[in-house]
Amino acid sequence: MSAATLLPAPAGVGAGVGAGAGVARCRVSAGRLLPSGAAGSAHAGGGLDVHATLAALFRSSGARHRFIPHAPEGRTDEASVLRGHPLAQAAKSLVLRVALGKRRRRYVLAVVPGDRRVDLAAVADLLGGTEASFAVREVAEQKTGSVSGSIAPFVLGSPDLEVLVDEGLTGHDEIFFNTGRLDMSVALDVSDYLALARPTVASIAER
């Protein structure tokens, strides 16, 4: 995909098609999906409609995926039961704050298997930081455009956020995650995910 591809919005619901009639256009730049002006549709909290944007990306790129509607659920273990897959295939996305030195910090989106905990020390070491901690809820939701429990393993409209993925997730054929909504998830082919999200893959989960 080129570095400035415009993606049209999906029209309906179903495998390969997103929910809702809102307009969602974005451009892909250095692994980040950025809204094109005011074209991103608003969700309940305002801003970009994460689900519609991801649906447009999957459809435009030909990514192998299927949407899975379910009862509202943000807990990874319970959502995995509703979706019908092993917990290890769940992509658990966490916004972390990494201290880089005096008054310097950066935020990253750490993605780990649902049956593992993120290794904060490993993340800090990977980025040359002094320590890593969980971002406060308000910051995490603002940077991802999603309520806690529904964060997808993609960066949407936040150019200062980098995606880190634990290598344990890459051994599966597909991964599962919420798409910015508590009542909607997706099963996505792992090779397609890596091609679209362009994350840094490393050992960032506790073993």
- Count the neighbouring beta carbons within 10 Å of the beta carbon of residue 69: 11
Residue 15's φ and ψ, nearest 5 degrees, are -60, 120
- Is residue 171 classed as helix, strand or coil in its secondary structure? helix
- Inform me whether the pLDDT recorded for 4 exceeds 90: no
For 38, residues 6+ apart whose C-beta sits below 8 A from its C-beta are: none
* Residue matched to tokens 């944007």: 53
Placement of tokens 């020390």 in the chain:
121
Give pLDDT tens digits for 92-132.
999 999 999 888 999 999 999 999 999 999 999 999 999 99
What DSSP designation does 118 have? B
Q: What is the pLDDT of residues 66-86, one digit of tens each?
A: 999 999 999 999 999 999 999
Indicate the pairing of strand 161-166 with strand 200-202. parallel
**Cβ neighbours of residue 40 closer than 8 Å, sequence gap 6 or more:** 23, 24, 25, 26, 47, 48, 49, 53, 157
CA distance 81 to 137: 25
pLDDT at 17: 28
What is the predicted pLDDT for the residue at 27?
Answer: 39
Say whether pLDDT at 38 is over 90: no
Q: What percent of the chain has pLDDT over 90?
A: 72
**What digits encode the pLDDT tens for the residues 183-199?**
999 999 999 999 999 99
| 130-160 pLDDT, tens digit each | 999 999 999 999 999 999 999 999 998 787 8
CA distance 81 to 117: 19
CB-based contacts of 142: which residues, under 8 Å, 6+ apart? none
Q: With a cut of 60, say whether residue 19 has pLDDT above it.
A: no
Q: Which domains does the chain have, with CATH numbers?
A: 70-202 (3.90.960.10)
For residue 68 the two structure tokens come to 């899975």
Structure tokens at 127: 């980025």
Cβ–Cβ under 8 Å, residues 66 and 15: yes
Cα distance from N-terminal residue to C-terminal residue, the chain: 35
